[in-house]
Structure 1
Amino acid sequence: MRHFFSVNQLDEVEIMEILRMAEQLQQKQCAIEQQRFAANLFFEPSTRTKMSFLVAERKLGMEVLDFHQETSSTQKGESLYDTAKTFQAIGANLLVIRHPADDWFHELKDQLSIPIINAGAGKEEHPTQCMLDLLTIYQEFQQFNGINVVISGDILHSRVAKSNAQTLKRLGANVYLSTVDGCKDETLDFPYITMDEAVEICDVLMLLRIQHERHQEVAIDQSSYLRKFGLTKERERNMNPSAILLHPAPINRGVEIDSDLVECERSRIFKQMNNGVYIRMAIITKLLRAWGISYEANTQKREKVVING
């Protein structure tokens, strides 16, 4: 694996290897022996993804190069390609990029001599979020085969929905979608069901916010969305006792989910965030190995591990 642009580039064995590596990293400290630099190039707002990459990189002992779009040369017309090449030229060993274009990585994949991680591509891909969701589900059920997963919310504009739906199906899960008119993605070949149906059949209910910043023609009435389409406390009571709640966040409390349910017993929302650090550590480690930049092998609990450069 030279870059990490999509979960589709991984087979099932590779997916499970990354999940297991992430679990191992939760139990130990790691350090890269030689000085390495990571650059997080975020061209869209982010809290969880950007900060968890930052924590992951620092846990691995990497130096993080500062980048803020609003004060960068992109304000003078510099392209993504030239920004990426600049960071490579000044010594970055790894680029983590989020960009509003759906296919930005196609421009870079054969042009740079350092690994790149896709931290979000427009409406199409969010592979590291998918991987941390997989880890959270696997930790709960120890399998994917036969698990009923419902993804509910703004399906049309969600890169999370696209990455998760296809991968979960490939791993044997039964995937269903639930949304309002105008937010369906007809390119996704999965059945659409109502939220009332969803809560009765799901083992995993993955809620998504309405992405108003991406809507151009469809208007969503937030005042009635929860009652008609969201997870109310009444609907939550109809869920199976073992069913769990996921949400990639940011959460619009009182819109797609009743605020009291965000931290209820079945919620794994903040566990997802924690898992995100270790999934991203695992992906970074796998890429650095592939490029011969570092090697990490010891998995002893709480033992500090030196990653030889």
Structure 2
Amino acid sequence: MSDGLRWGILSTAKIAETAFIPSLQQTRRGELVAVASRDAARARQFADRHDIRQTFGSYEDMLESDQIDAVYIPLPNSLHAEWTGKAATGGKHVFCEKPLGASAAEAQAMVDACRDAGVTLFEAFVFLYHPKSLRLRQVLAEGAIGDLVQMTASFTFPLARPTDNIRMNRELAGGNLMDVGCYPIAYARFVFGEEPLSVQAACRLDPEYGVDTRSSMVLTFSGDRHAALQSGFDAPGGQRAVIHGETGYIAVPQPCHPKEQDGFVIVRGDREEAVTVEAGVRTFTPAIEHFHDCVLDGVEPLVTATNAVGTLRVIEAVRESSATGRRVDL
């Protein structure tokens, strides 16, 4: 393997422009060399804006190129599995947007395909690799708030309707759970360090679009510990989490999209301790750097792509619980 990775992007999605490219530019061993679009003119315009030297007028052409080592896939959720599979067949390492697949079974098939092809697969829950999250896990392990008891987490924003936004497109595996809801679910699993035992949930389904637009969930973990989670497109709020232990709690702003300078607050009685984390780089950068280390140096991933399967199993249980009005055991 060379000293760096040559990256291509499948599509000209906005998140590639606003999040991935600026973060990749801050890494030591990654170079963006190509972009692909089904519209060749759009690919060229995108490339001109970001000084990308090569464009492809189809996704297939990029995946067949021997000038590309890894691809970032920010396509709609329903297309993740197809193009991850084709990338793996083409020997390309894959950094795929979340959620990894449209179902747990689909995500597992993606994990299996990449493993069989000998390529690395990451799901872009970038908080999992960020110094802020790693520092939080260290603080929890050190017993800063005693044994964990429960937590809350939410991610909401208002999405105006009518809209042609893909988040509201059922055919593209849209809905709030597949966009913002997966974040607090993944974060709760990260905090507790295990899979939940059961789920009780209620979702609001939009009758016009046929997708869930808000969800309230209670995940039960071992030892009768709980995570109360909310997500949706129907109200403002952004993202936040509060983690409760037997001797205190930790308030975490912006848990899933950490900033260059960020942190959290530990509260014990009437004492507050602000923990500052100086990442010094954009949100995606630590995850991409770790991806490079795994591919180029054979480092074991901090989190494997199998983690994505667990998130989707919980999402499926949330839907079942909401539809039946019953708790779903996992």
What is the TM-score normalised by the length of structure 2? Answer: 0.45
What is the TM-score normalised by the length of structure 1? Answer: 0.47
